[in-house]
Amino acid sequence: MTERELEQRLTARYRPNVDEAAPAELRTSVAGIPEAVGAPGLTIRGLQPTQRPLAFAAAILLLAAALAGGIAVGSGLLRLPWQSSTPIDPASIAPCELVSGGSAREIAVSDDGVPAIGAPNVVDYEEWINREGELEVFSAVGGRTCFFLLSPDPNNSRGMDSVLHLRGQATTGAEASDLAANIFDVGQAPFDQGPIIEQVGANRAWVGLLGERPSVSQPVGGQRMGEFFTPGMAVAVSAEPYFLVLTFDMDASILELSDAARGRWWERYWDTSLWPGIRTPLEDILTRLTQMESAKGQ
Amino acid sequence: MTPAGLAEVERPLARAEAFRRLADNHLNASYRLARAILGDPAEAQDATHDAFVTAWRKWATLRDPALFEHWFDRILVHTCRNRLRRTQRWRGRDLAPELLLAPDAFGRVHDRDALDPAIARLSPDHQVVVVLRFHRDLTLNEIAARLGVRPGTVKSRLHYALKRLHSELDESDARGQLT
């Protein structure tokens, strides 16, 4: 079979699909989304009662993110570049220059294989350069599940649901830079809910939901195995020129991780529990989020 | 975008109506795309609905209604790809490979030739690229924009996807000739 024949076969494979119309019930259900879901961004009160426990789980993860952020930054486990006793030489931040100059987005790596940008000083972490040439730092601090993404480039989008969430809001690098600067200046992090601004030592951190996944069903052997909710959330810590983000992801599918990082996540954390021991403080976070939404509505 | 168009998106009272109109206009094409990626009609229906829920929640990030199709395609493709990933994980843990190739309880016909099973064995990223290329007939740049990756990445994924399909189909053809 030639390349041409394969392409023709693929084109023919999808041809019967081109006139297929969406089912009427789908059209009806989509039209009802604004009423069913509520106003964009206001999610907790707009949820169905059966979904609230799932939102509760989402908020638990939010708390976990806050705790990890506070612990990591406050205890020194995570030492931000500007906390260093040695001032950072701006000239050493090569990736920013590479990106702004329009060159390939690749992390500069020195002869000994160490990325030229400073990775966060985190106990027990591993690094990957993913397929996009971006640095990923995967950590298991204190057994917690977290990824540390170090992005010196505010236009370093990691997909639609990325932590920085800039690509959908900015069409040029300059716009993205302005947006990132705005985030640093006024705390307008791109969160769907929140943010709660926390003071962690001398640092500002924003905690908020990045977005809630819609409920999905799992088909296994022709049977649906129930619904669940997949939240994405993060703690963002400003540390210009870096924008350090700790993210928590229930199924590791939100972030565009490398296969290796995704595999590690899967192997290590799929069957572990995040929840025990943090339910009580979670209620505080949830209350504050609710109060925030109530204040907005008044 | 016209000032009137911008105002329409931004006015709270007009949001729902604007969403409904855009969703209605794009529903068929969106469902077809989900169907092409996921195969199963029920899965495609769920994914399309879920993607529209996400779109409504992220409505504030749509800057220009004229860009709705592009903006929503990205949401839909991510939704479908995540479903593929989850499905593959479950399958990898719970089902024997030979069961995956059998017709399912709903009577779908996967094995009318070797192409469908071969596509199903591609990684989710590769499947999505193949569908966008051969179902939507998009260019590499257009696919890259919908996936949020570089055109070179799309080119690479498409290359390896076609290479694998080629290999599997050749093997299948060879087996067919033997039997």
pLDDT in tens, A158-214: 322 223 323 233 333 344 334 444 443 444 444 444 444 443 333 334 444 333 333
Does residue A121 register a pLDDT over 70?
no
pLDDT digits (tens, 9 = 90+) for A214-261: 333 333 333 333 333 333 344 444 333 334 444 443 333 333 333 333
ipTM entry: 0.77
What is the pLDDT at residue B33? 92
- C-alpha distances (whole Å) from A216 to each of A219, A227, A230, A231, B87 are 10, 5, 9, 12, 11
Within the 40-59 window of chain B, which residues sit less than 8 Å (CB to CB) from chain A? 40-41, 43, 45-46, 48-54, 56-59
The three-class DSSP label of residue A222 is: coil
* Smallest CA–CA distance from A266 into chain B, residue: B89
What is the pLDDT at residue A151? 37
Higher per-residue confidence, A192 vs B160: B160
Residue A154's nearest CA partner among A213, A100, A75 is A100
The CA distance from B153 to the nearest CA of chain A, in Å, is: 8
A93/A17 Cα distance (integer angstroms): 50
What is the pLDDT at residue B26? 92
In which band, very low, low, confident or very high, does the pLDDT at B179 lie, cut at 50, 70 and 90? low
What residues of chain A lie within 8 A of the CB of B106, using their CB?
222
Determine whether the interchain pair A27/B24 forms a contact, defined as Cβ–Cβ distance below 8 Å: yes
Averaged pLDDT score across all residues of chain B: 74
Query: Angle, to 10 degrees, between the axis of helix B12-38 and the axis of helix A24-31?
Result: 150
Choose the most confident range, by mean pLDDT, from A132-136, A160-164, B77-81.
Answer: B77-81
What is the pLDDT at residue A49? 40
Query: Which of A4, A13, A217, A259 is best to mutate for the B interface (most B CBs within 10 A)?
Result: A13
In which band, very low, low, confident or very high, does the pLDDT at B40 lie, cut at 50, 70 and 90? confident
What is the pLDDT at residue A188? 41
What is the pLDDT at residue B102? 36
The CA distance from B4 to the nearest CA of chain A, in Å, is: 20
Give yes or no for B146 touching A (CB within 8 A): no
What is the pLDDT at residue A152? 34
What residues of chain B lie within 8 A of the CB of A2, using their CB?
none
pLDDT, mean of residues A61-74: 45
The CA distance from B130 to the nearest CA of chain A, in Å, is: 8
pLDDT, mean of residues B65-91: 75
Does residue A50 register a pLDDT over 70?
no
Which amino acid makes up residue A192? D
Does residue B44 register a pLDDT over 50?
yes
What residues of chain B lie within 8 A of the CB of A6, using their CB?
162, 165-166, 169
pLDDT, mean of residues A61-66: 49
Q: What percent of chain B has a predicted confidence (pLDDT) above 70?
A: 73
What is the pLDDT at residue A119? 26
- C-alpha distances (whole Å) from B175 to each of A86, A123, A162, B98, B109 are 66, 53, 45, 16, 20
Determine whether the interchain pair A22/B28 forms a contact, defined as Cβ–Cβ distance below 8 Å: yes
Higher per-residue confidence, B93 vs B71: B71
What is the pLDDT at residue A39? 63
Q: What percent of chain A has a predicted confidence (pLDDT) above 70?
A: 11
What is the pLDDT at residue A104? 22
pLDDT digits (tens, 9 = 90+) for A18-28: 778 899 888 98
Length of chain B: 179
A146-151 vs A135-139, strand pairing mode: antiparallel
What residues of chain B lie within 8 A of the CB of A256, using their CB?
148-149
B62/A220 Cα distance (integer angstroms): 35
Angle at A36 between CA A32 and CA A40, to 5 degrees: 100
> Using CB atoms, which residue from A22, A157, A222 is nearest to B105?
A222
Does residue A283 register a pLDDT over 80?
no
Give yes or no for B163 touching A (CB within 8 A): no
Choose the most confident range, by mean pLDDT, from A137-146, A153-162, A254-263, B126-135.
Answer: B126-135
Does residue A15 register a pLDDT over 90?
no
